[in-house]
């Protein structure tokens, strides 16, 4: 099953290979006001992958993905970028979990972090450019 180092490893690849942004280990602190991206896994394992990041970091991620200046980034591009990041995290985590399973389309919301959809399975606290982010895998209890 998935553990914290698996999440850190996949996040390192995304941040290093796709975004070109620094990524460091940090306490698993959920940003107080954050943008949240979620994607569901259904099948051999049922649960949710969630990435929570501050608005400034979400803008940096979008600027990196679109290769544009921070000031040029639109709200739609932030949503697109966070959705794509959680999609990639989810797809790679799904490959480590019991299958076969399917991945949903990503959803992106903004606000205070909620309790999380299900039982927390693993969580990694990270920091990029001094901005906290948190990646969690929740398991949906069997009905």
Q: Which residues bind another protein (CB under 8 A)?
A: 13-14, 17-18, 62, 65-67, 77, 80-81, 83-84, 87-92, 94-95, 99-101, 103-105
Taking the complex as a whole, the smallest distance from the CB of residue 90 to another protein amounts, in Å, to: 7
In whole angstroms, how large is the CA radius of gyration of the chain?
Answer: 14
Q: What is the DSSP letter of 98?
A: S
For residues 52 and 84, which CB has a smaller minimum distance to another protein in the complex?
A: 84
* Closest alpha carbon to 35 in 89, 107, 86, 111: 111
Question: Of all helices (H) and strands (E), which one includes residue 132?
Answer: strand 131-139
For residues 30 and 38, which CB has a smaller minimum distance to another protein in the complex?
A: 38
Taking the complex as a whole, the smallest distance from the CB of residue 101 to another protein amounts, in Å, to: 8
CA angle 5, 122, 60 (to 5 degrees): 70
Taking the complex as a whole, the smallest distance from the CB of residue 14 to another protein amounts, in Å, to: 5
Question: Other CB atoms closer than 10 Å to residue 59's CB: what's the count?
Answer: 22
For residues 100 and 143, which CB has a smaller minimum distance to another protein in the complex?
A: 100
């Amino acid at each position: 099953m998935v553990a914290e180092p698996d999440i850190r490893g996949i996040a390192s690849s995304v941040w290093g290979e796709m975004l070109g942004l620094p990524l460091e280990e940090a306490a698993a602190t959920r940003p107080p006001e954050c943008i949240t991206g979620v994607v569901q896994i259904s099948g051999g394992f049922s649960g949710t992958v969630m990435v929570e990041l501050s608005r400034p970091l979400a803008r940096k991620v979008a600027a990196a993905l679109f290769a544009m200046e921070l000031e040029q980034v639109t709200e739609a591009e932030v949503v697109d970028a966070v959705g794509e990041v959680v999609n990639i995290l989810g797809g790679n985590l799904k490959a480590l979990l019991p299958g076969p399973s399917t991945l949903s389309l990503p959803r992106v919301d903004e606000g205070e972090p909620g309790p999380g959809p299900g039982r927390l399975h693993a969580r990694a606290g990270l920091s990029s450019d001094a901005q906290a982010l948190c990646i969690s895998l929740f398991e949906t209890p069997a009905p």
